[in-house]
Structure 1
Amino acid sequence: MEQEPINADNPMLKLFDKEKILITPHMAWASKESRELLVEKIARNIEVYLKGKLV
């Protein structure tokens, strides 16, 4: 967000239930666990592709 904390009148907040949303920086997904899972999925997709199957 351009301003933190986000303004209460920000139009994005009208789209969601404020009690059920968590807005994070774009890098919030990049935990060690998330990156490991991503690498595992990429490796699995490459293996499947090399076997000539659909990914």
Structure 2
Amino acid sequence: MIPMSEIDVRDKLEINLPPRVTMQVTALTIATGKTFNDIIIEALLQYINKKKNCHNIGIAR
């Protein structure tokens, strides 16, 4: 399988995310100097941790 480049991933996410969310993530990449993928991964991890804490469940590591 050929790995997708960051641009390919961003283009794919723009199709699946509302334009407002895509603009917010792009603004974060500019403000923080992080990659688009890093911002998405951090947001997903924060979401998972928030849900885990809300439901008091454990996730195998």
TM-score category (smaller protein): 0.3 to 0.5
**Which has the larger Rg?**
1
Higher relative contact order (CA 8 A, sep 6+): 2
Normalised TM-score (structure 2): 0.39
More helix by share: 2
